[in-house]
Amino acid sequence: MRPRSEQDERLLRDLLDASASLWNELNYERRQNFFDGESVWDTADYRKQYVGVLGSATAQQVIRKNSEAWRSFFAAHEDGEDTAPPGYWGNEDEGRELRTYIRNDQYTLEMGDRSRLEIPVGSDLKDEYDLGHTERLRLEVAGAPKWDGKQGRLELYYDELSDQFRAIQPVTVDKSRQDSSLADETAALDIGANNIVACTTTTGQQYLYEGRDLFERFRETTREIARLQSKLQEGRHTSKRIQRLYRRRTRRRDHAMDGLARDLMDRLYAEGVSRVFVGDLTDVLETHWSVRTNQKTHNFWAFRAFIDRLACTAEEFGITVEVRTEAWTSQTCPNCGSTDRTTRHQDTLTCPCGFEGHADLTASETFLRRHETDVPRPMARPVRFEWDDHQWSELPYSHESPKEVRTDQSILQSV
């Protein structure tokens, strides 16, 4: 999807940025109410504040999406899960997530030789960009949707990794029209820093995304930032060069994390996975005495944002992400079930019963067995990946082109 002109692109970015502002302002008040023991539903009427930019219907959809996130949060708490409240869509300094939601009766999608999508815009933006009173923003669309049917709420977002605007349109179709059975496999992820993701699926497949080289490059930039800060004149706290290094460090990390989320979900989709369990990181993110560990847990890992990336990317493939407790999974022996006799040394977990295996992969397998009864023991060697600044490549490097992005088999289509 692409705007027809630079002016249309600026208008679209303003629309998406205003949606992020609405989400952040509403979410801030709800978080404050939650931590103060007050009702998260008792908030200001943000729809009225943003109706001039977004339009009444679009503003209401963003508010409803935020409400859905909070209902999911409370439902998880009722099930005994210790999850974090809904987070923010970035900030002005580090960049916002450019995203919005359009009600199903407020947009028009026409496919053909010149496919186009038309969406509503608030009156303030219409005045700013000289749009007529009844005129809507028109966007060119690339691609051919696989499914047609009753259209649902449209999601628009900017994909920074590919530098493209994307749209996700849910549609309701008759089951008799599906050309394949729905996916019903499950995966569990163990999240770390030395190994960013260790994954086990109910098909017996395992994936390991290694992160040591990424973290070392992150540390090198951090040391350079510290060196430059030590040379600043008294009273100064930063410089343009330091700010550029901070930005470069963040973008490199986020680029790798975005690539990981998409590569992993692409592979899980091919495995027929429809649900992914991710470990709750509350305990992991507690402060540690080690400076190196603090850098990993609070700066490099940024796992709250990473889980959001996973969930957003999974949505494109029709895969749900559920955060569950993973307590003791990294110390549990899969053979005898012991947690107090096992020993971990670097990437290896051993037990006096005779078991020896990769600690993170074993943790993901144990995590999966907690929530799925029929999990076969992985037979094939795990597939390992390293980041080469452009994509996650299987070891040994094959340098094959990334797979084409696919979408859900039943209800989601990307245009």
**More confidently predicted of 54 and 311:** 54
Q: Other CB atoms closer than 10 Å to residue 96's CB: what's the count?
A: 20
The mean of the pLDDT values for the chain is: 82
pLDDT higher at 376 or 161: 376
What distance in Å separates the CA atoms of residue 260 and residue 325, rounded to the nearest whole number? 22
Residue 67 identity (one-letter amino acid): S
**What pLDDT is stored for residue 301 in this prediction?**
58
pLDDT at 176: 54
Q: How far is CA 282 from the centre of its chain?
A: 17
- pLDDT given at position 150: 79
Sequence ranges of the domains in the chain = 2-177, 185-212+253-405
Query: What pLDDT, on a 0 to 100 scale, did the predictor assign at position 300?
Result: 57
Higher-pLDDT residue of 96, 286: 96
pLDDT score of 205: 93
Over range 187-194, report the average pLDDT. Answer: 87
For residue 120, report the phi and psi dihedrals to the nearest 5 degrees: -75, 155
Task: Choose among 212, 290, 301: nearest CA to 250.
Answer: 301
CB-based burial, 352-391: b 16+ in 10 Å, e otherwise: eeeeebbbbbbbbbbbbbbebeebeebeeebebbbbeeeb
**What pLDDT does 297 receive?**
47
Would you state the pLDDT for residue 403?
34
Q: What is the mean pLDDT of residues 70-87?
A: 83
How many Å apart are CA 302 and CA 282, to the nearest integer?
A: 12
Enumerate the β-bridge partners of residue 108.
118
Query: 2-60, pLDDT tens digit by residue?
Result: 788 899 999 999 999 999 999 999 999 999 999 999 889 888 889 889 999 999 999 99
Task: Evaluate whether 111 touches 141 at the Cβ level (below 8 Å).
Answer: yes
> Which CATH code for domain 185-212+253-405?
3.30.420
Q: In a 3-state reduction of DSSP, which class is residue 106?
A: coil
Provide the pLDDT confidence category of residue 314 given band limits of 50, 70 and 90. confident
Q: Which residue has the higher pLDDT, 99 or 250?
A: 99
Specify whether the CB–CB gap between 55 and 135 falls below 8 A: no
* pLDDT given at position 312: 76
Tell me which of 48-62, 128-142, 172-186, 193-207 is least confident: 172-186
**Tens digit of each residue's pLDDT (9 = 90 or more) over 284-301:** 444 443 444 545 544 555
Q: Which is more confidently placed, 91 or 5?
A: 5
The percent of residues above 70 in pLDDT, for the chain, comes to 86
Pairwise pLDDT comparison (204 vs 411), residue with the higher score: 204
Specify the DSSP class assigned to residue 394.
Answer: E
Query: From residue 49, how far is each of 88, 106, 174, 186, 331 by CA, in Å?
Result: 19, 20, 40, 42, 51
Residue 311: Cβ within 10 Å count: 17
Positions of E strands within 152-267 = 154-159, 164-172, 185-191, 195-201, 206-210
CA 85 – CA 70 distance, rounded (Å): 7
pLDDT surpassing 70 at residue 192: yes
- Among 408, 410, 135, 386, smallest CA distance to 265 is for 408
Average pLDDT over residues 323-344: 84
Bridge partners (DSSP) of residue 237 are none
Confidence of residue 175 (pLDDT cuts 50, 70, 90): low
Mean pLDDT of 173-195: 72
Phi, psi of 366 (to 5 degrees): -65, -40
**pLDDT for 125:** 94
Tell me which of 54 and 215 has the higher pLDDT: 54
Integer Cα distance of 199 and 285 in angstroms: 20
- The Cα–Cα gap between 352 and 377 comes to 20
Q: Work out the pLDDT band at 302, boundaries 50, 70, 90.
A: low
Task: Assign 139 to helix, strand or coil.
Answer: strand
Mean pLDDT, residues 95-120 taken together: 89
Whole-number Å distance between alpha carbons of 12 and 3: 8
Amino acid 282: pLDDT: 53
Query: Measuring CA to CA, which residue among 85, 414, 70 is closest to residue 265?
Result: 414
Tell the burial category of 65 from Cβ atoms under 10 Å away from its Cβ (0-12, 13-18, 19+): middle
Residue 148 pLDDT:
75
**What are φ and ψ of residue 260, in 5° steps?**
-65, -45
